[in-house]
Amino acid sequence: MNDDALLGMRALVTGAGSGIGAASAVALADAGARVAAADLHLDSANATVASIDGGIAVRCDVADEASVAAAVRTTVEAFGGMDVLVTCAGITLPGRTADTTLDEWRTVIDVNLTGTFLAIRESIPYLRASKTPAIVTIGSVASLVAAGSSASYNASKGAVLQLTRAVAAEYAAEGIRANCVCPGLVRTNLAANSERVRGAPTAPPETAGLKARPPMSRTSEPEEIAAVVAFLCAPAASFMTGAAVPVDGGYTAT
């Protein structure tokens, strides 16, 4: 992508303190956007902002309505508006359906699904005022097929995709595009960070229940996901909306 593909655009990235969110914040900034890096952990968001030009760090719990509203307001006040929302905040907990407690279920749904909903809902009034509005949500191969050994994660990610499609349909007439990136296995600290968010051990092998031999049999780097996120935010993707975009080394192709 060109260095100036997102020049002048103003972005909020949730979950920007680590992994895919951090890499997305960097990719958007490298393409010329000003980025508000939001995360539950302000120290992590600060670390991301330290590596980009003109960004701000925001503490935000995406599962908390007031916290999300405040993060969106902070972004708009800092940049004078908002053109792009990327929702990367997410957690995973292990557990087949019968082994999942209600507390575990609610925790995952609250962060992954409700957090995505709140970020989109709070951003829409400002995206409406943008000339180049775009939303990118982070689903998973688990948005498309049952993957891994977590009922709550699969359910949350399926719903994130369907929410993204609904938003795309609802706001297409107003020029707001919404697409869902569906990564396969990415080299991040998702399991360890999920434990930190929840304050309780999770300890699943990240790969449990995943396909044994996907076509490209390797883990991807967060930057390989972030490159697609940045493209979907850019005007070059002007006819893409409501799309589920697998970035999975062929995982869902076979």
Ligand X SMILES: NC(=O)c1ccc[n+]([C@@H]2O[C@H](COP(=O)([O-])OP(=O)(O)OC[C@H]3O[C@@H](n4cnc5c(N)ncnc54)[C@H](O)[C@@H]3O)[C@@H](O)[C@H]2O)c1
Active site residues: 153
233 is a contact residue toward ligand X (CB under 6 A): no
247 is a contact residue toward ligand X (CB under 6 A): no
Helices (H), 86-150: 102-108, 115-127
32 is a contact residue toward ligand X (CB under 6 A): no
185 is a contact residue toward ligand X (CB under 6 A): yes
| Interacting residue with ligand X among 74, 179, 188, 241 (CB under 6 A) | 188
Residue 48's closest CA among 18, 75, 71? 18
| Interacting residue with ligand X among 55, 90, 204, 214 (CB under 6 A) | 90
**Of the two residues 9 and 93, which places its CB atom closer to ligand X in the complex?**
93
Collect contacts of 70-78 with beta carbons under 8 A, ≥24 apart.
71/12, 71/14, 71/36, 71/38, 71/122, 72/12, 72/119, 72/122, 72/123, 72/126, 74/36, 75/10, 75/12, 75/36, 75/38, 76/126, 78/34, 78/36
102 by Cβ neighbours in 10 Å (0-12 / 13-18 / 19+) ranks as: exposed
**One character per residue 121-160, x = contact with ligand X (rule: CB under 6 A):** -----------------x-x--------------------
Q: Which residues contact 79 (CB under 8 A, 6 or more apart)?
A: 10, 34, 36
**One character per residue 39-58, x = contact with ligand X (rule: CB under 6 A):** xxx--x--------------
| Interacting residue with ligand X among 18, 75, 114, 123 (CB under 6 A) | 18
**What are the residues binding ligand X (CB under 6 A)?**
14-15, 17-21, 39-41, 44, 60-63, 88-92, 111-112, 115, 138, 140, 183, 185-186, 188-190, 193, 197
